[in-house]
Each structure stands twice: as C-alpha cells, then as structure tokens.
Chain A
Amino acid sequence: MKASRRLAVAVALAALAGTAGCTKIDDSANTPTSSSEVADGGTLTLAASSPITDWNPLSAAGDTTGQRQQQWPFYPHPFLTNPDTSVVLNTALLESAKVVSASPMKVEYKIHQKAVWSDGTPITGKDFEYTQAVQDPKKCAGCKAAFTEGYSLITSLETANDGKTVTMTYSKPFSAWQALFNYILPAHVAASYGDLATSFNEGFSKNVPKFSGGPYVIKDYQDGVSMTMVKNPKWYGEPAHLDTITTRYISGQGAQITALQNGEIDLVYQNPTLDTVNQVKAMNGMTVLLGSTITYYHLGMKTTGDVMSDAALRKAIATALNLDDMRKRTVGQYAPDLVTMKSSAYVPGQKVGGIDAYRDNTDELNIGKGDNKAALGILQQAGYRVTDGKLTLPDGKPLRDLKMLTLSTDVLRMELAQIVQAQLKQLGITVVIDPADGSRYSPALRSGSFDIMATGTALDLGALSLQQWYGTNAARSFGYSSPEADQLFAEAATELEPAKQVELMNRLDRVLLADSVVLPLFASPQMAVYPDKFANIFINPSKYGTTMNVEQWGLRK
C-alpha cells in the first residue's frame, strides 16, 4: 500500500474523531501515528470471540462478522474502507476500477502486474470470473453463496492484457458495484478442488487456506484455539511490519479483557459496554480507542395491524420519543462523543464518492426530539384523546398496550425498551416490553409479532441495506409498503452518480421517517484496546473490521 493510503488513513481517522465519534480516552496514547513510525518485526496476539467454522468468506456459513475479520488478511480486495467511512481503491491490487460505460453499465478493473498469489500465480481476470460465477445462481445453482445481488446482473466478463484487465457488463446499473468482489477467490486453487459447486461448498469451505493474496498467510491453525499468520513472502503491497499475528479464540468480552490485562493477548476489538470501558480505562499503558461503525441502532414501528396502521399514531410516537435522551442514557455513558443519528440512510460523517452524504433529516421533520406537545397535537387532530392519563382511540376505546419486542440477552436493547416505555407513558401510551430469547426473537420479528422493536442495520450496501427492511415484499418488510419508497429504492440502486445517489437516498430517508417506520438512534460503537507499544491499529467502521489495514500494524518506534 502506498504513502497516499497511509496519509488518507491518518487524515480520515482525525476526521472521524470529530464526526463519527472516535473518543480519545488518553490523548497522548491515541494520537494516530502513520505507518512510518513503526518498526519491522514483532508479534501481536489478538482475541476473537469464535473460531472459523467455514473457511470460505463468501459462503453463507462463512460470511459472518468474526470470520470476515479474521480472513481479511489473506485475500485480495478491490476496495478498502477508511476509518472515516470513505471507500477507496486498494492501490496495492488495482491500478484502477471504474465505470467505463453507463448504458449498458460496464466496469473495468485493471490489476497490477505485480499482484500475485502466495504461490506466485498471477491474480487475473480468471479469479474475478470464478468469484462471480460462484455467486451467480444462474451459473452455479448449487453454490451456497451468502450474497448474490449484483453478481447475477453481470452478463459478461471479458479479460485482456494477459488477464490483468477485466471488463464486466451488467444487465442493468448497479450502484453498489464497489461492494462486490470484496474477497477474490483463487481460480487455480478452485480448479484443484473440482467443479464450481464442489470447490465453493467444500474445497474452500473445509480446507484451511494454504494460499494468500493478502499481506499475511496462515502458518498454523489449531481448531478452536488459535490461528497464526506470518508475512506472505509474495505480498505485492506495502510491506507488512509484524512478523507474526496470532488470533486467540476467547469467548466472552470479560475474559478477553482479563487476558489483555494479564499480557496473554495484545488486542481486543469488541462492542463496548459501560463495564468494559471502565475496566480498560483502569489499565495502565493501554491505548483505548472508541469509535463507531456504519452499522447503526434504530427503532422500528410496524405499519400494519389494528392500531399501528394509523400513520397519525406512529407519527405522534416518533415525535414524542426523545432519541438524544436515549443515546445519552445508554451508549452516551461510555462513549459521550457518539452523536445521535438524524438519518436512517447514512451515519454521521459518511461520505459517498467524496460527497458528505449525511443530512439532519429527523430535525427537518421534527422527529425524535421529545416534543410531547406536538405529538399530542397530532393525536388530537386525528381524533385521539388522553383521558385519565390513558390514550383513547378516535372511536373512544382505550388504546391497547403496545408490545415492544426486544432481545432479552442484549442489555442495550433492553435499556432502550425501558426508556421508550417511560417516554411514551407521558402520551398515555402503555408499552409492554416483550423480552424474547434468541430462539423466539427472530421468528417474532419475522412474523411481525410486535408494535415497536429495536434492532441494528449495516449500511454498507446503500439502498439495498434499507430495502431489506422497507421494500414492498422485502425479506424483512413486516408489512411496510410505499410506492414512493419503492420508486426511490429502484432509482438509488441503479444511480451511478454519487451526488444524485446521495440525493435519492436522503429523499428516501425522509419518506421512511415521515412514515415513522424507522427511528435512527446511534451508530454502533466499537472499541479497540492494545498496549501503547503498538501503533496503526484503528477502528474500521466497515463490517470487515480492524484487520483491514493489518499490514500497517507494528511496534511503535
């Protein structure tokens, strides 16, 4: 990776501190350092909650948060996400990647001549071709791929220039094209495993990779105990600094922090809680980074059923709830710089194509400010009345208790539910918390067995991220349907111009907010803790996590 990338990371991190909520617990310790300040050599041990159960990061079983993060260092990736959420070209792998034609949409990737797999085989269009085929149900119906959107739109894939230039033609524009090919699988290794389905479902899934197209390669894997990586001798990017990186599998956040305290591991990367933040603050000689990701917490309201189908009731609830108070009383206790989100389409500070995408849309619609007076006005206008502290429907009957579905094991969501309960009481609405365990929560959510719920959404796929919840007949729509939103989803998903895409997404956001189907809360916080002797370890807002810049990690000079 080049110096420009290092600079971009450093600048982006500084920007993130002011925008996406990177908290400096110890100013001197947390000042980001560029990679020129680290020495070569050394080892680092990081903790992971669970071992790898499927070695194919593109398979349905392998595409989980923990496995993606662990496998990032040994695959080539066309694009990287900076700490400030901007998506940049991976200049180690590619000379360029751009849309060369809008109609039909054609994307051209130019791969560096020097880019090779760890066995010396060049990384070429064949690898792109294989990676596309296994994620396109038309070409491989038996492949158990986690994600097929976009790949199935690719109608042709041509390679030239010794396979180093790849041009893909899409049947229709796909705005999230940069999110595709996030892991490129080696076609020559696949050929040794068998046909498409066999190689994808078994070859890559069951075998510990001996290959690497990234800065590190696996040296040793002890099932459920550890994974040890060493430098890939054929790595074609900026030289990696640490000689060895070991992942220790330690379930439980508390156990990870205790191990860090005892010097058994060097890095924990986890969702913070008040307890864990206080624990790490008490440790000496540790750098503690608190930041946020592009996954965010939000409340959702059902838009069908006997009472929730009334837009006035939903709007009154959205107006009466004080979202900033919810943030302050939950994550604000340990991550005070984390801001309240005012958009359900972008996280604060998020950039798309270099453009600031985030807008204060909830402010514009007077949503989530705890404005009880306005909320009561909306209700009264719709015929509701508050009698003896209880809200009655326009037909005079008392409003039934509203059910808030939440995950009983998730402390944060339980706290949010309790605050919602207290805040809506002032409107005369009784909220009953339904604390479901893991086995009941998901079926209840899917079947729409709730009135209000709290959950999280990752925004890495733009319009597609929201469409899964709010598109008509979408996988998780629980009844919401809006022709205007559907139209905007379709337009945003095919709009290739970043400025127009941002505009469409913000229009979409305002439609969803106005319909009170979603109430954004705050970006999901993330914490990285490591001894001061290490540098260049950052919180990465993407779902791929902190290992994205693993080659820059090192011992501080």
Chain B
Amino acid sequence: MLRLILRRLASAVLVLLLASIVIFTVISVSGDPLAELRDRQPPVPESVIAAEEARLGLNDPLPVRYLTWLSGVVTGNFGPSTIANRDIGAELGTRVGVTLRLVLLAIVLALVLSLIAGTVSALHQRRWPDLLMTPAAFVLLALPSFWLAVLLKQWGIGLNNLTGYQLFYTVGEASVPRPEGFALVADIGGHLVLPTIVLALVHFATWSRYQRTAVAEALAADHVRFAVLKGLTRRRIIRSYVVRPALIPIVTIVALDLPVVFSGAVITETVFQWRGMGGFLLESIALRDTNAVLAWLLVAATAVVVFNLLADILYGLVDPRVRYAKS
C-alpha cells in the first residue's frame, strides 16, 4: 500500500507540473492584466503603468516568468498579484477554510441521504418509494445548480415573509455585525442552510442512483440467494450481505467526486456570496491574475491527487479482497 501511495504521489507531482505549465501559458496569453489600468478615464500616467509592468514581471519572457513563479512556490511565495496588496497565499488559506466548511457539511448530508434513498429505492424496486425517488433524482440531476440556488433563495425569502422571522439568509456566512450567544448559532445556521441544501442535492441525485444500482446488484448476487436459502433473517441479509458490499462502489465514487464537489462549490458560493475558493477563482480570472489562478489550480489539483489516494485507501479498507490481493 505504501509503495502504491508513493508511486501515486510521484506521478501527481509530474501532473501538477505539466498542468501548471499549461495553465500559466493559457492565462498569460489570454489577456492583459493591466487592461483595466490602461483603460482608465482620465488615463493613468505612463510611468505608473511601466512600474506595474515591472512589478508583475510582464517585461520578462514567459519561460522566465514561469520559472520565477515556480521557484517562489517552492518557498511558499505564490508571486505578485494584479492587486498589489493581495497576499495570494494568505488569502487562499482563509478561503479554503470557508469552502471546506460548506463542502464538508454538504458531503455528509448528500452521502447520508443518498445511502438511505438509494438503498430504500433498491429494496422497494418498482414500488412507491422507488417510483417517488427515482424521478426525483432525475429531476435534481437535470436542474442546473445555479438555478436551484436562485429558486431556493426565493423560497427562503418567501418563508421569511410568511413567518415574519429571518430564518434564511442569502448573503455570506454570517450577519454583520455577528450576533452573540445562541443567536450566533442560529445566524450561522440560517446562512448555511440554503447553500448546503443546493450543494448536497446536486450530488445526492448522482450518488443515490449509484447506491440504488449497487444495492440492486447485490440483491441479485449468489451469496445473497445462498443467505436466503440458509434461512438468515431479512435484516441480517440486508445489513451484512447487501448494504456492506454495496458500499464499495459508493465510497470510491464519493472519494473521487470530492474534488468535483469542491469545484461545484464555485457556483453555490457565487450565488450565496460566500468568500471561498470559488469566488477567488472567478475574481482572479476576471483580473487576469495569472499567479492567483495558478495558486488556485495548485490547491485544486492537490485536492484531486489527495482524494484519489483517499479513494484507493478507502477501497482497500472496505473491500478486504483488495487488501489481501495487494498484500
């Protein structure tokens, strides 16, 4: 297992390096980071523009700029941003935390719901729980997340108006100024509910379908038929011979999907104005802030690598055959 992890890590470094070269080149040639400054009315003095070009290293050839960036990253310096006062590394640290808070809760919720819904649906195939949950999952799959987010916002506002209480919020992670005591918990909860539901529902739809298929396949397996013939109780068969083997694919899929959830938060964060990784990426692209986009990429790519590794490890833990085969 250790050898597998090391091999994966080595290839990941190579992938990250190649990805950074491609992204750096694409972003660098896609536009002028000083375009906004050059377009000002009245015009900004030429000396200021020249100073900014020098600060951002725009006068250097692309390979030199890339190598400068790369050598900086090794020492923890992500390079200068288009916004002179922006510390890319420090800002990323804060934003990752915000995104993780949103994503982790959504993942837990989506996973629990999809395990229950997928299992119930498979155990009651073509009966009312299945007939209810299958179309619901497909509707959720078809819904664009930004549309769902806007819809939920309006429902939230409608509920607030109906009850006369501020139960749901549409902006940010907490109110300004932050309330104190229990009110703060309620406030954070009110801000968290809608974006978490959006993010969770989108992934619930996919994962519940996988779980349904896995349980349905397990139900038709020989070992389950054998367990029935042995006279084991239905509860025991489902728990030990159906649900547990059915966890293998879903655990792998969830682990592989985590980076997707992470990037899917871009839309949710934008709609609900959370200052997370999504906003960081969009702002950086708008500013043509090459170094900031590269830093985001580095974090996102690292997440992909880590979660892939996690998937391998979890797969081994859930399925003993993998463990034994590897040992």
Interface residues of A (CB under 8 A from B): 45, 53-54, 60-61, 63, 137, 141-142, 144-149, 205-206, 220, 222-226, 228, 246, 248-252, 254-255, 258-259, 261-265, 438-440, 442-443, 445-446, 457-458, 461, 464-465, 468, 475-476
Shortest CB-to-CB span from A235 to chain B, Å, is: 22
Shortest CB-to-CB span from A437 to chain B, Å, is: 8
Shortest CB-to-CB span from B278 to chain A, Å, is: 11
In the assembled complex, which residues on chain A have CB atoms less than 8 Å from the CB atom of B168? 262
Contact status B45-A137, CB under 8 Å: yes
Contact status A53-B172, CB under 8 Å: no
In the assembled complex, which residues on chain B have CB atoms less than 8 Å from the CB atom of A464? 42
Contact status A141-B47, CB under 8 Å: yes
Interface residues of B (CB under 8 A from A): 30-32, 35, 37-45, 47-48, 51-52, 83-86, 91, 94, 150, 153-154, 156-157, 160, 166, 168-172, 175-177, 270-271, 273, 275, 279, 286, 288
In the assembled complex, which residues on chain B have CB atoms less than 8 Å from the CB atom of A246? 176-177
A250-B273, A255-B273 given; A147·B172 CB < 8 A? no
Contact status B42-A149, CB under 8 Å: yes
Bound Cα distance from A515 to B320, whole angstroms: 83
Contact status A45-B42, CB under 8 Å: no
Bound Cα distance from A475 to B42, whole angstroms: 9
Bound Cα distance from A447 to B47, whole angstroms: 20
A137-B47, A258-B170, A465-B42 given; A438·B84 CB < 8 A? no
Contact status A225-B275, CB under 8 Å: yes
Contact status B170-A228, CB under 8 Å: no
Contact status B271-A255, CB under 8 Å: yes
A60-B37, A144-B48 given; A263·B166 CB < 8 A? yes
Most chain A CB within a 10 A radius of its CB, from B30, B85, B177: B85
Most chain A CB within a 10 A radius of its CB, from B40, B84, B150, B279: B84
In the assembled complex, which residues on chain A have CB atoms less than 8 Å from the CB atom of B35? 438-439, 442-443
Which residue on chain B has the smallest CB distance to residue A446?
Answer: B38
8 new A-B contacts, CB < 8 A, other than A255-B271, A262-B157, are A61-B37, A147-B44, A149-B42, A205-B84, A255-B171, A259-B170, A264-B169, A439-B288
Bound Cα distance from A317 to B177, whole angstroms: 56
Contact status A439-B32, CB under 8 Å: yes
Shortest CB-to-CB span from B180 to chain A, Å, is: 15
Bound Cα distance from A147 to B157, whole angstroms: 45
Q: List 5 A-B contacts (CB under 8 A).
A: A137-B45, A205-B84, A250-B171, A264-B171, A438-B35
Contact status B83-A225, CB under 8 Å: no
Bound Cα distance from A249 to B173, whole angstroms: 12
A144-B48, A148-B45, A442-B39 given; A61·B275 CB < 8 A? no
A261-B157, A262-B169, A263-B166 given; A60·B32 CB < 8 A? no
Closest 7 CB pairs of A and B: A439-B31, A475-B43, A226-B176, A53-B83, A60-B48, A259-B171, A144-B48
In the assembled complex, which residues on chain B have CB atoms less than 8 Å from the CB atom of A446? 38
Contact status A265-B171, CB under 8 Å: yes
In the assembled complex, which residues on chain B have CB atoms less than 8 Å from the CB atom of A147? 42, 44
Contact status B32-A443, CB under 8 Å: yes
Bound Cα distance from A146 to B41, whole angstroms: 10
In the assembled complex, which residues on chain B have CB atoms less than 8 Å from the CB atom of A264? 169-171, 175
